[in-house]
Amino acid sequence: MSGLAWIQLRAIAVNVWRASARDRILLILWATALLFIFFSLVLAKMVVGSEEMALQTTGFWIMGIWGLISVLYLGSNIVRQEIYQKTIYFVLSRPVHRTTFLLGKFFGMIIVLASLFVILALCWLFILLSKGVPLNAGHFVTLAFIFGEWVLLASFSLFFAAFTSPLLHNFFLVGLGFLGHWSRDLYLFSQNAHSAIAKTLLSVIYHVLPNLDALNFRQAALYNEPIGAGLIMLAGGVLLAWMLTALVGANLIFSRRKLL
């Protein structure tokens, strides 16, 4: 990538960050996430069983789901709004390649998501420490892969945003988010299904969708189980491969997209 492309990429990413930092709805969304993290203290008191376990599970769940919500909000309009408000003309009338535009948007989203993630994770870790929950390496690996899942969702969001309306984008992304976590179950269903059509359909969905559960180390963190370096590498590889696939797909579609 040339020096010019880096400057352009930075300018586009900073613009995404500025738009988000000045977006009241997004700020309310973030505040709600923080509220939920602190509300987990109350929830943990209400559950039957270990309070420590409940605190950790709720925290992981909130961070997982807020990633999806944030990506839905950020991604649904990230390309559409540029085309609808025609601000894309302002960018593309300069020596900006469409790939640079898309990557700038992607990195902008990552900066916004990373900011939210750091705030949420720090608050959650602070709560755990204040409640005397012992932290292990698994917690940090899990956190890293929860953020990895956010990044993966952001790249798929960009892929969907490159060709669909915000409504369809949200529909596809929610589907991907949930089905991706049920990937193993889909595989089991496909193996046990009696109907050939159902078997094929479930098998196709299993192979087409990224297996988000491969990035899930929550159980290992909760029960302080060691996570092998090989497994981490494999999960990292899966994450990277799916992310690149989504980004390349988004780029191929967006490069050919006709502007009016």
- Residues that bind other proteins in the complex, under the rule CB under 8 A: 3-4, 7-8, 10-12, 14-15, 18-19, 22-23, 85-97, 100, 258-260
By C-beta, is 98 or 199 nearer to other proteins?
98
Query: Count of CB atoms within 10 A of residue 107's CB?
Result: 18
Question: Cβ 19 to other proteins, closest distance in Å?
Answer: 5
Q: Could you tell me if 177 and 70 are in contact, meaning their C-beta atoms sit under 8 angstroms apart? A: no
**DSSP result, 78-105:** TTHHHHHTTHHHHHHTSS--HHHHHHHH
By C-beta, is 162 or 220 nearer to other proteins?
162
DSSP label at residue 22: T
By C-beta, is 96 or 158 nearer to other proteins?
96
By C-beta, is 53 or 111 nearer to other proteins?
111
By C-beta, is 216 or 251 nearer to other proteins?
251
Nearest residue to 33 (alpha-carbon basis) of 52, 53, 59: 59
By C-beta, is 61 or 90 nearer to other proteins?
90
Residue owning tokens 């952001």: 154
Cα 48 to chain centroid distance, Å, stands at 31
Question: Cβ 117 to other proteins, closest distance in Å?
Answer: 22
Question: Cβ 110 to other proteins, closest distance in Å?
Answer: 19
Nearest residue to 212 (alpha-carbon basis) of 137, 165, 149, 256: 149
Question: Cβ 95 to other proteins, closest distance in Å?
Answer: 4
Q: Could you tell me if 187 and 206 are in contact, meaning their C-beta atoms sit under 8 angstroms apart? A: yes
Question: Cβ 7 to other proteins, closest distance in Å?
Answer: 5
Question: Cβ 207 to other proteins, closest distance in Å?
Answer: 33
By C-beta, is 12 or 214 nearer to other proteins?
12
Q: How far apart are CA 160 and CA 223, in angstroms?
A: 37
Tokens of 42: 């109350």
**DSSP result, 136-179:** -HHHHHHHHHHHHHHHHHHHHHHHHHTTS-HHHHHHHHHHHHHH
Residue type, 141: V
Calculate the CA dihedral of residues 111, 2, 251, 73 and round it to 10 degrees.
20
Question: Cβ 78 to other proteins, closest distance in Å?
Answer: 13
